[in-house]
Chain A
Amino acid sequence: MTADEHRDLVEATASAFRSVAPDGSIREAPAWHDLDEAGRIEAAALALELRKLEAALDPDGISTTARLVLARIRGEGRGG
């Protein structure tokens, strides 16, 4: 794997976007599967940094993770 490929995989894994499985569970990012353990740790550290940055940029102080979760909650309600 080249350094650029590694960087792109880390950056992709650090995104909050995750697809949802038919059973409603949250799937791992496809890029996460292509990273080794060190790369996964790097991606998690970057995600922590990004979520804090996103929260600092958001008027309500919420990250993209929070926005995703809230969108799902508002779509499904409780007990859905």
Chain B
Amino acid sequence: MIDLDDHLPAIVAGDATAFGRFVAGAETRLRQSLGSFAGVVDVEAVVQECLLRIWQVAPEVVPDGRPNALLRLSIRVARNLAIGETRRRRIDPAIVRRLEREAEGAVEPEIPDPRLREIIARCRDRLPDKPAAALAARLEGPWRADADLADELGMRPNTFLQNFTRARKLLAACLGAHGIDVAQELA
């Protein structure tokens, strides 16, 4: 089993690159753990808020002898943030209790398959210009709003989104042609 706590000493020392390696292994499980809350909280916002808090509290984490203490803490923090958000939104407590029960508990990290990486890169190279440009814009400028990315590419915001959708679907079709089921591999 991969133990993301291997990165903990460097994270505690303030190494953001090590924190990036932790996030690379933790993000999918963290996101999946919030699946039951997806209809009532913005999962993306909760994941980002959670990771920022984990960076702040990492120096206080004491490993308990079991692997992936930092990932387990992240899942707890994310769930508490999601519950706090449901309270703020005055969601029926009975619904929140049900969502809590349904929240996924798996804590094993997940690392991308190197074969998948190679095939996706090849599929990306075959995208038409405009979908490729929309995909590249989001990949290279995630700190900018879609409207700004669209403006830079000379596209209207909805044209940008349509090109991004097209890129995503073409990638899925290309992966499918290589025997990779996007729904299984990426969901």
Contact = CB atoms under 8 A, between A and B. Distances in A.
Interface of A: 4, 7-8, 11-19, 25-29, 32, 37-38, 40-41, 43-45, 47-58, 60-74, 77-79
Interface stretch (B2-10, B61-69, B161-169): B161-169
Given A18-B48, A56-B113, A64-B139, 4 more contacts: A27-B45, A60-B21, A65-B142, A73-B55
B186 A49 contact: yes
A14 B117 CA distance: 21
A62 to B, nearest CB: 5
Contacts, number: 155
A71 B51 CA distance: 12
A7 to B, nearest CB: 6
B138 A15 contact: yes
B3 to A, nearest CB: 17
Contacts of B153: none
A37 B145 contact: no
Contacts of A27: 45
A55 B35 contact: no
B158 interface: yes
